[in-house]
Amino acid sequence: MTGIAVLGSTNMDLVAYVARAPGPGETVTGREFRTVPGGKGANQAVAAARAGGDVTMIGAVGDDAYGAVLRSNLEHSGVDIDLLHTVEGPSGTAHIVVDETGSNSIVVVPGANGTVTALGPGEMAAIAGADLLLLQLELPLSAVAEGARVAHAQGVRTILTPSPVQQLPGELLDCVDLLIPNEHEAVALTGAADPHTAARLLLGQVPAVVVTLGSRGCLYAARGGDPVLFPAPEVAAVDTTGAGDTFVGTLAVALGERRSVPESLAWASSAAALCVQRPGASTSMPYRAEIDAA
Ligand code: ATP
Ligand code: RIB
């Protein structure tokens, strides 16, 4: 089994489903509201565990009611939560609007996630003992960078999702093996609107890149080769929240099983396509048998 450590956020997603997202100063009436366990770190952990990984979640939730629900949701998906600490104060929340095309806009309030500024010996040992480390940017950058450093020093392969996007220090990128931005993040990181150009520029900083392109699939590029486009399955999306996280968590499991890059990307694309056909983040992530069947 692939050992995967996830150092990242755990949020409760507060999701309003609307016909059209409101503009500045505008009020619209929604048709439905749901609370769904989410957070980029927890989502990737759930996706990887359901895809067959042996997953440890490192992070924090608050001592509020959401914290207990978030812990039990991870546990029910088979994620080890011994290093998911409960701290005083509110859990992270994500305030999400999903429109009728399934697209979302999100405001994240870090809460407990913001307390994870450094790693203790237990966290470092979990990272050092894993096959892969999954990182995103919803925890303080100091912890993300420390996690990447520990992994790099121990030869643990590191995948970074640069979201919410921000400029990244060179010392962090030096420790990243695979960077997975969506197309907006790729533009923000490089200034290049064309994903091929963005991918080439990013290869100056990391050895391999996957730019995810929503319903258009993804673009894979590694040093020394030409970028390759992998199309996504054609499906009717109802809620794309967590699609990127499903893609990353599932891809990590496949790569950890030493499957080829094309096979791994195809498997991750099938998983993400299943995710977008269901509402919510962690609630929409498929199990291994479903991905194989798809
Ligand atoms: P999100 O923030 O909505 O979770 P993201 O912006 O991080 O997602 P996307 O590029 O939108 O990432 O999607 C990630 C992957 O999910 C895509 O590369 C694709 O494989 C799959 N995907 C997303 N949307 C669709 C869709 N409408 N149909 C099929 N697959 C999709
Ligand atoms: O990537 C989707 C996630 O982003 C949501 O679950 C939400 O919590 C935000 O962190």
Residue 3 near residue 29 (C-beta atoms within 8 A): no
pLDDT at 275: 95
Question: Which of 276, 205, 225, 278 lies closest to 247, judged by CA?
Answer: 276
Task: Output the residue whose Cα is nearest ligand 2's atom 2.
Answer: 242
Q: What is the pLDDT along the chain (294 residues), one digit of tens a residue?
A: 889 999 999 999 999 999 999 999 999 999 999 999 999 999 999 999 999 999 999 999 999 999 999 999 999 999 999 999 999 999 999 999 989 888 889 999 999 999 999 999 999 999 999 999 999 999 999 999 999 999 999 999 999 999 999 999 999 999 999 999 999 999 999 999 999 999 999 999 999 999 999 999 999 999 988 889 999 999 998 888 899 999 999 999 999 999 999 999 999 999 999 999 988 778 889 999 999 998
Kindly state if the Cβ of 180 falls inside 6 Å of ligand 2. no
pLDDT at 103: 84
Residue 75 near residue 274 (C-beta atoms within 8 A): no
pLDDT at 240: 87
Residues 6+ apart with CB under 8 A from 167: 189
Kindly state if the Cβ of 241 falls inside 6 Å of ligand 1. yes
pLDDT at 104: 87
Kindly state if the Cβ of 242 falls inside 6 Å of ligand 1. yes
C-alpha angle 50/274/9, rounded to 5°? 50
Kindly state if the Cβ of 245 falls inside 6 Å of ligand 2. yes
Q: Is 245 a catalytic residue?
A: yes
pLDDT at 257: 96
> How many angstroms separate the most distant Cα atoms in the chain?
52
With the most atoms of ligand 2 within 8 angstroms of its CB, the residue from 91, 239, 245, 285 to mutate is 245
Give the number of other CB atoms < 10 A from CB of residue 18: 15
Ligand 1 centre distance from Cα of residue 128 (Å): 30
Kindly state if the Cβ of 108 falls inside 6 Å of ligand 1. no
Ligand 1 centre distance from Cα of residue 217 (Å): 7
pLDDT at 93: 98
pLDDT at 283: 84
- The reported pTM is 0.96
Kindly state if the Cβ of 185 falls inside 6 Å of ligand 2. no
Ligand 2 centre distance from Cα of residue 226 (Å): 31
How far is CA 284 from each of CA 46, 83, 241, 243, 262, rounded to the nearest angstrom?
A: 10, 24, 9, 9, 24
Helix, strand, coil shares, percent, the chain, to 5: 40, 25, 40
- Sorted by where each starts, the structural domains of the chain and their CATH numbers stand as 3-293 (3.40.1190.20)
How far is CA 200 from each of CA 196, 228, 255, rounded to the nearest angstrom?
A: 6, 12, 22
pLDDT at 238: 86
Task: Output the residue whose Cα is nearest ligand 1's atom 12.
Answer: 244
Ligand 1 centre distance from Cα of residue 197 (Å): 20
pLDDT at 143: 97
Kindly state if the Cβ of 111 falls inside 6 Å of ligand 2. no
The atom of ligand 2 lying closest to the CA of 93 is 8
Q: Is the peptide bond before 164 cis (omega within 30 degrees of 0)?
A: yes
pLDDT at 102: 82
Ligand 2 centre distance from Cα of residue 241 (Å): 7
